[in-house]
Amino acid sequence: MRILITGAEGMLGRDVQRAAEQAGHETTPLARAQLDVTDADAAVAAVGAAAPDVVINCAAWTDVDGAESRAREATAVNGAGAGNVAAAADAAGAWIVHVSTDYVFDGEKSSAYVESDPPSPVSAYGRSKLDGELAVAAAASERHTIVRTAWLFGAGGKCFPKTILRAASQRPELTVVSDQIGCPTFTGHLAKALVALAQQRTLGVLHVAGLGQCSWYEFAAAIVDAAGSDCPVRPISSDDYPTPTRRPANSVLISERGALTLPEWRAGLEQFISELAEVRA
């Protein structure tokens, strides 16, 4: 199978390329310098030239707080840009697997979110990603899989565990919010699932995230412990740590459609620590 990967130099894109090649597929990885997804004509040309069977769209604006002040730019990438990639894939007769987020929900639900729950984003980032979902579904109505995931972390890019490890080496104590819960998802695990979904070609929206749930505080404590650090971690409320973006209090995702089950998030953390050690060696 021929797989074109957009956003190929990002944290997830790198792992998708590795997972696809390990599975024996031919890949065409395109970084932002090679394809700006906000350019519709460039998307058509790039996808047409590669003639892939599947496009996995990892290109995204990921600066959640930055999206609040730069909503137009975020939406150009996450919204219209996603639609451009989907339209180019559809024109080439390819299936598209598009990556979305838990931020399409408001976080007010008392239980885990499933695919049929109505989206209600409360941030500019969340709105931009929902725009992308709608654009992908409209542009490739019969050939798309939209994968909602959450709390991504991996060795190949900026992520929460790296921030925590750096802070733990510099501070006498860490304080982390304990009233936001979600499903930490290791990109190495998600990447393999995206490649599998490229073969399955399930139409519509699927929730695929690390198994289990925790708060940011619990995640941080587990990170510090896994790294062998003795830096204490103390829980605080979101009110004690204001940010430009209103983040969902509940970001837990599960699937009612029988989507692929990823390993438990702690297993992902263990692999992340191992890979990080290899990178730094």
201 exposed, middle or buried (CB, 10 Å; 0-12, 13-18, 19+)? middle
30 exposed, middle or buried (CB, 10 Å; 0-12, 13-18, 19+)? buried
125 flagged as catalytic: yes
Strand partners, 26: 2
* Catalytic position from the list 103, 125, 217, 241: 125
Q: Which residues contact 54 (CB under 8 A, 6 or more apart)?
A: 1, 2, 3, 4, 89, 94, 95, 96, 97, 198, 201
Please tell me the distance from the alpha carbon of residue 279 to that of residue 168, in angstroms, as a whole number. 19
Q: Output the furthest CA–CA distance in the chain (Å, rounded).
A: 56
Cα–Cα distances (Å) from 35 to 39, 59, 79, 154, in that order, read 8, 9, 16, 23
Q: Considering just the CA atoms, what is the radius of gyration of the chain in Å? A: 18
Residues known to be catalytic: 125
